[in-house]
Chains A and B, each alone.
Chain A
Amino acid sequence: MGHRLSRRRFVKGAAAAGAFAAAPAVILRPGFAQTGPVKIGVLEPRSGPVKYVGDKHVAALGYAVEQVNAAGGLLGRKLEIVVADSEMKGDVATRRANDLIFSEKVDFLTGLGSTVGKAASQIAAQNKKIFFTPTSEAVELTGEEFFDTTFRCTVNTEMHSALLAVYFTKLAPRAYEKFYLLSEDDNFGRSATAGFRRKFAALKRPGQTIVGEEYHPFQRLQDFGPYITKVRATGAEVVVTSDWGQDLRLLLQQGRALGWNVKVGSFFLNDPSTLQAIGADAVGHVTASDYLVTADTPANTEFVKKWRARYPNPPLESTVPDLTMGRYAECVRWLANVIKKAGSLDTARLIKEWEGARFDMVWGEVEMRACDHQMQTPGYVAEVMVPEKIPQEIRYFGNDFPYIGRPVRISRDEITQPARDTGNRRCA
C-alpha cells in the first residue's frame, strides 16, 4: 500500500517537472524567448482501469522533456507537454486532440493506442501538425491510412511479430516444431497473428508448423482453462500471443496450473506490474520489442542510470523505463534533434528533415524510412528468468520476482517490412 501514496506523489512530480512548472525556469533563464514553450499534446488514459499505463507514460515524457530543457531547450524555447485524457476512445481522442490544437496551441500530437492514434493522426493531418507515435503499432497508420504528417518511431505489428518469428526459427535454443497462435480478439491481436504467420511461412525450418490459430474475448475472460486444454491437445510447444495485462496474466498462470509445457512468445511481457503478479509462472517465456530495458548497449546503461537517479523512489511500474516508456522518451529525444536540425517548427521543413533521417536510439541505430515514415530499427527478444539468473547489474527488482534477462539482438534487415508491401501509395 506504500506504493499507492508514492505513485500519486510521483506522477504529480513527474508531470510538474515535464509540463506545469515551466514558469519559474523561464524567469530564471532569460535565454528562453517570449514566444512561449514548444508544446507536445499528449493523449493518454488519465482515468479508468488503465490509468496507471498513462501515469508511467507521462513520467517517461516528463523525463525526456526535462533532458531537452536541461540541454538548453529548443530554438531558444522550452519544451513542454500538455496531457489530456483520451479515455482510450476514438471519439474522445478526436475531441481532445482538437482542444489541444485550438485551445492549448500545441505544436505536436502523440498518444497511446491504435484507436487513439488513428483519431489523433487525422486531426493532426487536418491541421498540418506532426503526429508521432511510439506506441500505435497498427500497420495502416503508415500504410493504407497514411498521412505525411504521421511518423512512427517504433516497430509496426509486422516487424514486432517478425522479431518472434526470427527468434523461434533461427535463434531459440531448441528447434520447437508445433506453434499455436492464441491472441485477443481485437485489431492488434489479428494483425499481429497475421504478421507472425507471414514471416513464419518465409523462415520456417523443416518440421515447423502452426497447429492452431484462435482468438479469445478481449480483457473479459476469467477462465482460460478451455483454451489451454485445447492447446495441450494439439501438442503445441510454442504459444504466440499478443495478450497483455489481465489476459496475459491469467493465461500464463492458468496454463502452468493446468500443466501446459510450452514456451510463450509474447509481445509485451515486460511490465513489472504484470510480471510481479504472474510470478514464477512467467519464467521461461520470451518477449520481443525494439526497446527492452535490459538491452546491453552503453547508451542504454547510461539511460537507465540517469532514469533511476531522476526517480529515486518510484512506484513499481516506473522503477525502470519499460518498453513503451523507453520508446516514448527516445522518440521525444529524436523529435528534438529533428527540430534542432530543421531550425524551425514549420511542419513542411520538419517533414523534410525527418524523412530518411538516421538517429542513435539508446538501443541502436534507426532510420525513418522516407516513403512511409516507418522507423527501421533493430530489435530484441528476451527471456523471463528467476532473479538469481539475471546479471546483478540489470536485476532492477532485486530478488522480488522474475524479470527479463539480457536479450538477443535481431538486426533491422531481418525484421523490415519491404516498402512495396506496406500498402502505402508513396512506396509502390
Chain B
Amino acid sequence: MFPLSVYATQAMHGIVSGMLLFLVASGLTLVFGMMGILNIAHAGFYMLGAYLAYSTVHATGHFWLSLLVAPIAVGAIGALVERFLLRRTHAFGHAYELLLTFGLFFMIGEAVRWIWGSNPLQVAVPAGLVGSIPFLGSQYPLYRLFILCVSALICLGMAAALLKTRVGIVIRSAVSDGEMVSALGVNTPLVSLGVFTVGSALAAVAGVIAAPFLQADPSMGAVILTDLFVVIVIGGFGSLLGALLASLMIGELQSFGILWFPEFALVFQFLLMAIVLIVRPQGLFGEKG
C-alpha cells in the first residue's frame, strides 16, 4: 500500500491532465454545439498554438506575449476557414464538413513539419513558474498548478459569457433553433463565424499552455485527437459541462488506473465510453438528437 501523499498526488495528476484536456475540448465542443461540425482540425490548431508559442519565445523572449499572438493568429486562420471553406460545404451536409476538417488537420500537420521541422522544440517554463512547492510531504511543480488555474479560469469565463451575456444568449438560442433566431433578425452566419473563431483561438491558448509542459512536437495533434473524441462522446456532443466532467473523469481514471491496474490503465477510458454509449447514447449531458 502507498502512503496517503501518493494518492493525493495521483489525484492532482488526474485533475491537471483532465483540465488540460478540457481546455482543448472546450473549443471543440463549443463549435459542435453551435454549428454541428466535428472540427478535426481543432487538434491541428492546438498544435499550431504550441509552435507559435515556441516562435514567439524564440523571437521576443516573452512567453506571455504568445498568449496574445497565438490565439489571434490561429483565430484568424479559423475565421478564414469558416468563411471561405466551411460555409461553402455547409449545404452538402456534415459528412463533407467532416472530410474538409479532416483534410485540414493533415495539411496543418505537414505545414508544421515544413515550417518548423520534425524535431521537438523546447519551450522553457516561464520565469516565475519554475520549480515546485511543497505538497503533502512531497512536492508539486508550479507549472502543473498553473495549467490547473488557467483552465479553471477559462472554464468559468466561458460559463459566465454563455449564461450571463447577451451574446451568450444569442449563441445558446442559435444552438437550439437557428432558423427562429435568424428570423428574429439575428445575423446567424456572423454568430457562426464568431464562434468558430473563438473556438480556434481557444485551441491555440491550450497549445500555448501545453507547450512548456509537453514541448512543441509534430505528433501532439494526433496524440490528443483520440482523447478529444472520448471526451466529446462521454460528455455529450456540444455540452460544455459534459466536456468538463468527462475530461476530469478521464484524467482520474488514467491516474488511478496506472496506480492500481497499470496493465489496463488506458482501457478504462474506452470502457467508460462504452458504458456511457450503452446507458446514455447521447452522452452524459447531451441532448437527444
A-side residues, CB < 8 A to B, are 1, 3-4, 7, 49-52, 214-217, 219-220, 222-223, 225-227, 229-230, 232-233, 246, 249-250, 253, 257-259, 273-274, 276-277, 279, 316-317
Chain B, Cβ-Cβ closest to A228: B13
Report the minimum CB–CB distance from A88 to chain B (whole Å): 13
- Please give, as numbers and ranges, the residues of chain A lying within 8 Å of B138 by CB-CB distance: 232, 259
Contact with A along B95-123 (1 / 0, CB 8 A): 00000000000000000001111111110
A222's contact among B116, B224, B258, by CB below 8 Å, is which? B224
- Tell me, in angstroms, the Cα distance from A227 to B260 when the chains sit together: 11
- Tell me, in angstroms, the Cα distance from A50 to B132 when the chains sit together: 34
User: Assuming the A-B contacts A214-B262, A230-B258, are A223 and B13 also in contact, with contact meaning beta carbons closer than 8 angstroms in the complex?
Assistant: yes
Could you list 12 A-B pairs, sorted by A, with CB under 8 Å? A4-B114, A49-B219, A52-B119, A230-B259, A233-B2, A233-B6, A257-B141, A258-B132, A258-B141, A277-B120, A277-B121, A277-B122
Give chain B's interface residue range (CB within 8 Å of chain A).
35 or more
- Please give, as numbers and ranges, the residues of chain B lying within 8 Å of A277 by CB-CB distance: 119-122, 215
- Tell me, in angstroms, the Cα distance from A274 to B118 when the chains sit together: 11
Report the minimum CB–CB distance from B87 to chain A (whole Å): 33
- Please give, as numbers and ranges, the residues of chain A lying within 8 Å of B255 by CB-CB distance: 225-226
- Please give, as numbers and ranges, the residues of chain B lying within 8 Å of A276 by CB-CB distance: 119, 122
A257 and B143 contacting across the interface, CB-CB below 8 Å: yes
Chain A, Cβ-Cβ closest to B124: A279
- Please give, as numbers and ranges, the residues of chain B lying within 8 Å of A220 by CB-CB distance: 223, 226
In chain B between 6 and 39, which residues have their CB closer than 8 angstroms to a CB of chain A? 6, 9-10, 13-14, 16-17, 20
Report the minimum CB–CB distance from B13 to chain A (whole Å): 4
A258's contact among B17, B139, B218, by CB below 8 Å, is which? B139
A249 and B139 contacting across the interface, CB-CB below 8 Å: no
- Tell me, in angstroms, the Cα distance from A250 to B3 when the chains sit together: 25
- Please give, as numbers and ranges, the residues of chain A lying within 8 Å of B144 by CB-CB distance: 225, 257
A7 and B10 contacting across the interface, CB-CB below 8 Å: no
Contact with A along B111-152 (1 / 0, CB 8 A): 000111111111000000000100000111101100000000
Report the minimum CB–CB distance from A83 to chain B (whole Å): 17
B-side residues, CB < 8 A to A, are 2-3, 6, 9-10, 13-14, 16-17, 20, 114-122, 132, 138-141, 143-144, 214-215, 217-219, 223-224, 226, 254-256, 258-259, 262-263, 265-266
- Please give, as numbers and ranges, the residues of chain A lying within 8 Å of B215 by CB-CB distance: 249-250, 253, 277
- Tell me, in angstroms, the Cα distance from A229 to B12 when the chains sit together: 11
A222 and B223 contacting across the interface, CB-CB below 8 Å: yes
A226's contact among B10, B141, B217, by CB below 8 Å, is which? B10
User: Assuming the A-B contacts A49-B218, A214-B262, A215-B262, are A249 and B3 also in contact, with contact meaning beta carbons closer than 8 angstroms in the complex?
Assistant: no
- Please give, as numbers and ranges, the residues of chain B lying within 8 Å of A229 by CB-CB distance: 6, 9-10, 13, 259
B117 and A4 contacting across the interface, CB-CB below 8 Å: yes
Chain B, Cβ-Cβ closest to A259: B139
B118 and A52 contacting across the interface, CB-CB below 8 Å: yes
- Tell me, in angstroms, the Cα distance from A219 to B217 when the chains sit together: 12
- Please give, as numbers and ranges, the residues of chain A lying within 8 Å of B214 by CB-CB distance: 222, 250
- Please give, as numbers and ranges, the residues of chain A lying within 8 Å of B226 by CB-CB distance: 220
B217's contact among A232, A246, A258, by CB below 8 Å, is which? A246
- Tell me, in angstroms, the Cα distance from A352 to B215 when the chains sit together: 50
Report the minimum CB–CB distance from A391 to chain B (whole Å): 25
Known: A258-B140, A277-B120; 10 extra A-B contacts, CB below 8 A, are: A4-B114, A214-B262, A225-B255, A227-B258, A229-B6, A229-B13, A246-B120, A249-B120, A250-B215, A257-B144
- Tell me, in angstroms, the Cα distance from A216 to B259 when the chains sit together: 12
User: Assuming the A-B contacts A214-B262, A229-B10, A257-B143, are A222 and B17 also in contact, with contact meaning beta carbons closer than 8 angstroms in the complex?
Assistant: yes
B258 and A3 contacting across the interface, CB-CB below 8 Å: no
- Please give, as numbers and ranges, the residues of chain A lying within 8 Å of B119 by CB-CB distance: 3, 52, 273, 276-277, 316-317
A7's contact among B2, B13, B117, B139, by CB below 8 Å, is which? B117
- Tell me, in angstroms, the Cα distance from A225 to B18 when the chains sit together: 12
Q: Interface centre among B20, B120, B132, by most A CB within 10 Å?
A: B120
Instruction: Across the A-B interface, give the 8 residue pairs with the lowest CB-CB distance, nearest first.
Output: A225-B13, A226-B258, A223-B17, A52-B118, A273-B119, A257-B141, A277-B120, A226-B255
A233's contact among B3, B143, B256, B263, by CB below 8 Å, is which? B3
- Please give, as numbers and ranges, the residues of chain A lying within 8 Å of B114 by CB-CB distance: 4
Report the minimum CB–CB distance from B30 to chain A (whole Å): 22
A225's contact among B16, B121, B263, by CB below 8 Å, is which? B16
Chain B, Cβ-Cβ closest to A272: B119
B17 and A259 contacting across the interface, CB-CB below 8 Å: no
- Tell me, in angstroms, the Cα distance from A50 to B218 when the chains sit together: 10
- Tell me, in angstroms, the Cα distance from A215 to B224 when the chains sit together: 20
- Please give, as numbers and ranges, the residues of chain A lying within 8 Å of B16 by CB-CB distance: 223, 225
- Tell me, in angstroms, the Cα distance from A246 to B263 when the chains sit together: 21
